[in-house]
């Protein structure tokens, strides 16, 4: 027996007391193998079979990146195809902090180069980047400067290849070259606000995608936007593109062809601006508006709001903040309110409604005539004397003459009645107001017209309940509906307000036999290939006044221009019908002032076009009526060429 | 008489004993290596573009190591394992020394120091320390009647494991540390440790755990355990590997995406796809089916290993076989568990499959020792 043998077979050769037979129980080991592998198999089953679809989806998302390409936004033209907007690229210098070099020195080199290229101080860039990084948002782009000039953009594009983490971003922008005349109706586009973003994301909007903010840009957003395209690419863990998978080209947005005639729009704007200044009888106007509308379809040929402004300032909000601020805080003129869509007391133009209601309810007939003095004193309850005042002594006049000469007392007779002589439209003052309010709403007052330009206000058609509500808590004298309330309502004063557009629409309804049209600025949606996608069809509701009665009202309007209060609207060669309005109101200092209105249409026998002119100061027949005539004249000469 | 039974064979033909060589133990191992070569090929396809026959080619290199490992296995089959248990103290001390040396001279990778760089070869001493520990444990118990029933024997056996386990722990290598304790537990269980003693020991261990957690566990380990539970908390840093391996394995679904077709693997979302995360490559490209095949091969291999322990001629042989089975079981379990997010990320290779020479050679060496035990079992049965 060698030593080695002995050593190798430890304990064996000695034959000592130690037991050297294997005795272990190996079942436990087998169980351990089975159990441990069972655990692994269970987990594999869970991951690969049960959750396999979910992981497969995550695997795809892991390595497939999408790059969104925004669609070119649809263009907006006038009815003759004149472009009113332009698409322009907005160049922005962008830094992605994540991709910047680590060291301070290298970063500063980049910042200094950027300072040279785009003029933003390196220190400012540094603090922008730092702020973002401290917020833990180093993976989000920092826009260093927006609205780079084309020259700056080109130079940055060239240089950015050597500037790690710096990129030139090009996003779609707009310019409005047609002039301030179009600002209010076109609106503008701008970056999404936080609130908008939450809503738009669900519609597939990208964060950097601009959105229409007002006017046509906002109303026809879905048409103008188009559909963004995308390229999908496979990328590896380092973010290198491995292969392009597929791409979907963006679908350009559809264009909007407006019914607006830009020549007319410019002509009307200039005309109104030329007549803002007051004279012997008219005060200085600071606000004016005009509407020119097709009497049968509701197409708007011209929609003017004065003062106007340049909507290009909103396209570059960061750059032109001061101008935007000035526009926002001009409390005197509120240029951002579209004056054609915001209400004022309509004055005597409202008499068209009162007159229609009088005939329709049978309160008067075309033959009803009365002697109208300048002042008629009536005795109210408790023997109080009310002076009913007209703007002149009309003498004995009938229905037609009452409209033509815009008699107040004749309209009082219809709306509130003459105390001690006749009742108004209803059995008492309150009912009369409610009946008159019903007809006013029939003609579209007191509610939105539904025009395809935002920023519209409904105006007010008061009634007893309304008065109680708004004057609640001010004592019975303020909340009670009085005889005078119904009277003033009948001549478009007191609490009644209406927008120039509502007046134009009401005029069209009178002219066309009772069709209350939905006005629209857009005429058609046109595809990028020039094909019409859809046309905006006329839409109307029927006013509850018979055409026979409306014909009597039209006759009054015709007489007005031929030889009544609206005579200054006369244009040779045109058969115009119209109605003036001069709404009196008290200025804050107590002095009396007037709004000037004219609303009319032509030709009288086959109404084609309605025009409504409004100045915040002036006498209707003196200031507004002549312009109404001139606008109609221009329309038939230039827009509706034979 | 016993001398005659054993010594008589010593003088015989060099082919004696080979008739008892367990081919069924080697077969799954060879299949696993081939499986591994496929996966290494796929996992390195995006990073290696050179010629096939090159030592820089991970596949070529692995083939070389596989041949070396296979040869090693044959040599160790022929070698009487008693020779190894005899010198187990020396082997053990040698591996402790090399682990110590590693602390000062080793090569760091992925935040851990586990290798010596010897030319183009990386030597990982812990692979051999595990075998040395198994051999020493087996010798210790065989000298004490193959019995762990006494507290003293159990405590001494634990003291044998502790230095190696600690040195590995501070590398840091949590997976191998756990493997050491697994081996110890397997061996003492088979050696008949009293359950009562184990329970007391486990209680002490639980009591000490909070202190270990506070003072001894590295921050990175806590982070890895944390990201295992909530990988989304830190998707680009510590949670990255966890998330990417989950996506790879899960997206393989039933049949996988096909050989070299896994995006997670081929687009480099998986880190170390030929080593620690090779199972994720398998899960992605061959799916649940492929994973079942791999696990079946392992189960077969381990059951064959347990058979070796069953028929071992003596306690030493049985305990060595048990240690080796537990070693392969623990490494396989931990590696796959990491890949399926059941265990914090730790650098344990998948035996036979993962790219790596030390692992492959040492695991074949273990198989050789198992063969040596199988080939010699009758020597004792007949005695």
Parse chain A into domains and list their residue ranges: 87-175, 347-444+462-495
- Beta-bridged to residue A611, according to DSSP, are A292, A600
- List B residues 142-171 in contact with A (Cβ-Cβ < 8 A): 142-147
How buried is A312 (Cβ within 10 angstroms: 0-12 exposed, 13-18 middle, 19+ buried)?
Answer: middle
Of B219, B129, B210, residue with least CA distance to B177: B129
Q: Is the CB of residue A496 less than 8 Å from the CB of residue A426?
A: no
Instruction: Determine, for residues A238 and B268 on separate chains, whether the beta-carbon distance falls below 8 Å.
Output: yes
Least confident of A97-101, A604-608, B12-16: B12-16
Question: CA-to-CA distance for B279 and B295, rounded, in angstroms?
Answer: 11
Q: For the residues of B295-332, what is the DSSP string, one character each? A: HHHHHHHHHHHHHHHHH-SSHHHHHHHHHHHHHHHHHH
Using the Cα atoms of residue B300, residue B302, residue B304 and residue B307 in order, give the sign of their dihedral. negative
Q: Which range in A279-288, A393-402, B116-125, B189-198 is most confidently predicted, on average pLDDT?
A: A393-402
Residue A64 predicted with pLDDT over 50: yes
Residue A420 predicted with pLDDT over 70: yes
pLDDT score of A11: 36
Which run of H or E residues covers position A242? strand A241-248
Of A7, A52, A53, which is closest to B86 when you measure between CB atoms? A7
Neighbouring residues of A213: CB distance < 8 A, sequence distance ≥ 6: A187, A188, A189, A190, A314
Q: Is the CB of residue B327 less than 8 Å from the CB of residue B348?
A: no
What does the CA dihedral A481, A484, A490, A494 come to, rounded to 10 degrees? -80
Task: Kindly identify which residue of chain A lies nearest to residue B300, measuring between CA atoms.
Answer: A33
pLDDT score of A363: 92
Q: Where are the beta strands (DSSP E) in A249-360?
A: 255-258, 288-294, 300-306
pLDDT score of A200: 83
Mutate to test the interface with B, among A3, A23, A29 (most CBs of B within 10 A): A29
pLDDT score of A133: 80
pTM over 0.80: no
Residues of B in contact with A31 (CB under 8 A): none
User: Each residue of A302-334: pLDDT tens digit?
Assistant: 999 999 999 888 888 777 888 888 888 888 888
Q: Is the CB of residue A206 less than 8 Å from the CB of residue A198?
A: no
Of A491, A420, A434, A441, residue with least CA distance to A466: A434
Question: CA-to-CA distance for B68 and B64, rounded, in angstroms?
Answer: 6
Q: What average pLDDT does the structure give for chain A?
A: 87
pLDDT score of B240: 73
Instruction: Judge whether A54 is closer than 8 Å to chain B, CB to CB.
Output: yes
Q: Looking at the domain covering A87-175, what would its CATH class be?
A: alpha beta
Neighbouring residues of B215: CB distance < 8 A, sequence distance ≥ 6: none
- Beta-bridged to residue A65, according to DSSP, are A233
User: Each residue of B245-288: pLDDT tens digit?
Assistant: 888 899 998 998 888 888 888 877 777 788 889 999 999 999 99
CA B64 to chain centre: 20
Q: Is the CB of residue B315 less than 8 Å from the CB of residue B146?
A: yes
- List A residues 238-297 in contact with B (Cβ-Cβ < 8 A): 238, 242
Q: How many residues make up chain B in this entry?
A: 383
A288-294 and A300-306 as β-strands: parallel, antiparallel, unpaired? antiparallel
Residues of B in contact with A65 (CB under 8 A): none
Instruction: Determine, for residues A10 and B337 on separate chains, whether the beta-carbon distance falls below 8 Å.
Output: no
Of A299, A288, A323, A322, residue with least CA distance to A309: A323
- List A residues 178-237 in contact with B (Cβ-Cβ < 8 A): 234-237
Q: What interhelical angle do A27-44 and B174-190 show, nearest 10?
A: 150
- List B residues 213-232 in contact with A (Cβ-Cβ < 8 A): none
- DSSP-derived 3-state class of residue A362: coil
Task: Kindly identify which residue of chain B lies nearest to residue A42, measuring between CA atoms.
Answer: B340
Question: CA-to-CA distance for A511 and A204, rounded, in angstroms?
Answer: 46
Tell me, what's the ipTM?
0.89
Q: Which range in A355-364, B227-236, B241-250 is most confidently predicted, on average pLDDT?
A: A355-364
What does the CA dihedral B289, B294, B299, B302 come to, rounded to 10 degrees? 180
Query: From the CB of residue A279, how many other CB atoms can be counted at a distance below 10 Å?
Result: 12
> What is the nearest CA distance from A233 to chain B, expressed in angstroms?
13
- Beta-bridged to residue A497, according to DSSP, are A460
């Amino acid at each position: 027996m060698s030593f080695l043998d002995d050593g190798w077979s430890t304990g064996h050769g000695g034959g000592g007391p130690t037991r050297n037979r294997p005795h272990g129980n190996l079942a436990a080991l087998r169980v351990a193998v089975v159990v441990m592998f069972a655990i692994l198999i269970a987990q594999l089953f869970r991951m690969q079979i049960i959750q396999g679809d979910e992981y497969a989806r995550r695997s795809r998302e892991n390595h497939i990146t999408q790059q969104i390409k925004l669609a070119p936004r649809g263009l907006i033209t006038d009815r003759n195809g004149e472009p009113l907007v332009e698409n322009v690229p907005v160049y922005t210098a962008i830094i992605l902090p994540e991709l910047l070099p680590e060291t301070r020195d290298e970063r500063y080199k980049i910042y200094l180069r950027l300072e040279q290229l785009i003029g933003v101080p390196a220190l400012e860039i540094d603090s922008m980047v730092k702020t973002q990084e401290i917020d833990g948002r180093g993976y989000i782009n920092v826009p260093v400067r927006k609205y780079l000039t084309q020259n700056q953009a080109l130079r940055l594009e060239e240089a950015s290849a050597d500037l790690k983490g710096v990129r030139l971003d090009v996003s779609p922008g707009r310019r409005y070259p047609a002039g301030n005349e179009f600002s209010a109706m076109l609106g503008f586009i701008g970056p999404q606000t936080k609130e908008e973003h939450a809503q738009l994301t669900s519609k597939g909007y990208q964060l950097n995608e601009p959105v229409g903010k007002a006017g046509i840009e906002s109303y026809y957003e879905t048409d103008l936007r188009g559909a963004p395209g995308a390229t999908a690419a496979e990328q590896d863990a380092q973010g290198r593109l491995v292969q392009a998978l597929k791409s979907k080209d963006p679908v350009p947005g559809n264009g909007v062809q407006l019914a607006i005639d830009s020549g007319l729009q410019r002509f009307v704007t200039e005309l109104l601006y030329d007549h803002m200044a007051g004279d012997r009888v008219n005060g200085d106007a600071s606000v004016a508006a005009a509407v020119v509308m097709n009497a049968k379809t509701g197409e708007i040929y011209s929609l003017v709001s004065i003062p106007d402004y340049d909507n290009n300032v909103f396209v570059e909000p960061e750059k032109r903040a001061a101008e935007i601020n000035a526009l926002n805080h001009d409390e005197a003129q509120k240029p951002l309110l579209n004056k054609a869509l915001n209400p004022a007391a309509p004055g005597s133009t409202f008499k068209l409604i009162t007159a229609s209601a009088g005939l329709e309810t049978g309160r008067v007939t075309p033959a009803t005539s009365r002697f109208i003095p300048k002042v008629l004193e009536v005795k109210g309850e408790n023997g109080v004397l009310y002076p009913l005042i007209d703007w002149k002594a009309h003498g004995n006049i009938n229905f037609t003459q009452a409209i033509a000469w815009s008699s107040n007392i004749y309209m009082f007779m219809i709306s509130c009645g003459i105390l001690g002589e006749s009742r108004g439209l209803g059995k008492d003052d309150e009912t009369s107001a409610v009946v008159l309010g019903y007809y006013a709403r029939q003609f579209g007052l007191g509610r939105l017209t539904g025009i395809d330009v935002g920023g519209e206000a409904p105006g007010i058609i008061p009634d007893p309940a309304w008065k109680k509500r708004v004057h609640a808590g001010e004592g019975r004298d303020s909340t009670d509906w009085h005889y005078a309330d119904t009277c003033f309502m009948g001549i478009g004063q007191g609490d009644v307000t209406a927008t120039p557009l509502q007046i134009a629409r009401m005029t069209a309804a009178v002219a066309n036999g009772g069709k209350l049209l939905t006005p629209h600025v857009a005429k058609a949606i046109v595809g990028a290939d020039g094909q019409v996608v859809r046309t905006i069809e006329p839409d109307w509701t029927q006013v509850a006044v018979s055409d026979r009665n409306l014909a009597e009202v039209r006759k009054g309007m015709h007489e007005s221009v031929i030889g009544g209060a609206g005579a200054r609207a006369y244009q040779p060669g045109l058969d115009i019908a119209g109605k003036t309005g001069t709404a009196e109101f008290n200025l804050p200092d107590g002095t009396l002032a007037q709004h000037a209105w004219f609303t009319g249409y032509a030709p009288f026998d086959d109404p084609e076009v309605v025009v409504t002119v409004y100045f915040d100061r002036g006498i209707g027949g003196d200031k507004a009526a002549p312009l109404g005539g001139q606008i109609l004249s221009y329309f038939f000469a230039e827009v509706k060429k034979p | 008489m016993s001398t005659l039974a054993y010594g008589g064979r010593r003088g015989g033909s060099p082919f004696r004993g080979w008739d008892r060589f367990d081919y069924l133990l080697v077969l799954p191992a060879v299949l696993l290596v081939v499986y591994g070569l496929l996966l290494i090929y796929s996992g390195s396809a995006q990073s290696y573009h050179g010629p096939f026959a090159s030592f820089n080619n991970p596949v070529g290199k692995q083939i070389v190591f596989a041949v070396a490992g296979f040869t090693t296995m044959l040599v160790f089959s022929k070698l009487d394992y008693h020779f190894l248990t005899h010198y187990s103290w020396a082997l053990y001390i040698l591996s402790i020394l090399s682990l110590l040396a590693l602390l000062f001279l080793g090569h760091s990778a992925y935040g851990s120091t586990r290798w010596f760089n010897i030319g183009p070869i990386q030597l990982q001493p812990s692979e051999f320390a595990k075998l040395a520990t198994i051999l020493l444990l087996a010798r210790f118990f065989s000298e004490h009647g193959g019995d762990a029933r006494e507290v003293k024997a159990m405590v001494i056996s634990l003291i044998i494991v502790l230095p190696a386990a600690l040195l590995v722990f501070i590398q840091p290598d949590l997976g191998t540390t756990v493997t050491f304790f697994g081996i110890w537990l397997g061996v003492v269980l088979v050696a008949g440790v009293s359950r009562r003693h184990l329970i007391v020991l486990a209680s002490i261990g639980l009591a000490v755990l909070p202190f270990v957690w506070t003072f001894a566990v590295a921050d990175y380990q806590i982070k890895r355990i944390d990201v295992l539970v909530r990988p989304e908390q830190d998707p680009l840093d510590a949670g990255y590997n966890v998330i990417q391996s989950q996506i790879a394995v899960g997206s393989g679904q039933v049949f996988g995406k096909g050989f070299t077709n896994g995006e997670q693997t081929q687009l480099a979302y998986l880190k170390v796809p030929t080593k620690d995360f090779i199972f994720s490559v398998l899960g992605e490209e061959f799916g649940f089916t492929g994973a079942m095949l791999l696990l079946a091969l392992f189960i077969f291999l381990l059951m064959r290993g347990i058979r070796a322990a069953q028929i071992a001629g003596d306690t030493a042989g049985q305990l060595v076989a048990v240690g080796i089975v537990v070693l392969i079981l623990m490494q396989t379990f931990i590696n796959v568990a990491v890949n399926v997010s059941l265990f914090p990320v730790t650098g344990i290779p998948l035996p036979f499959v993962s790219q790596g020479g030390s692992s492959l050679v040492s695991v074949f060496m273990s198989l050789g020792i198992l063969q040596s035990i199988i080939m010699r079992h009758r020597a004792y049965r007949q005695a």
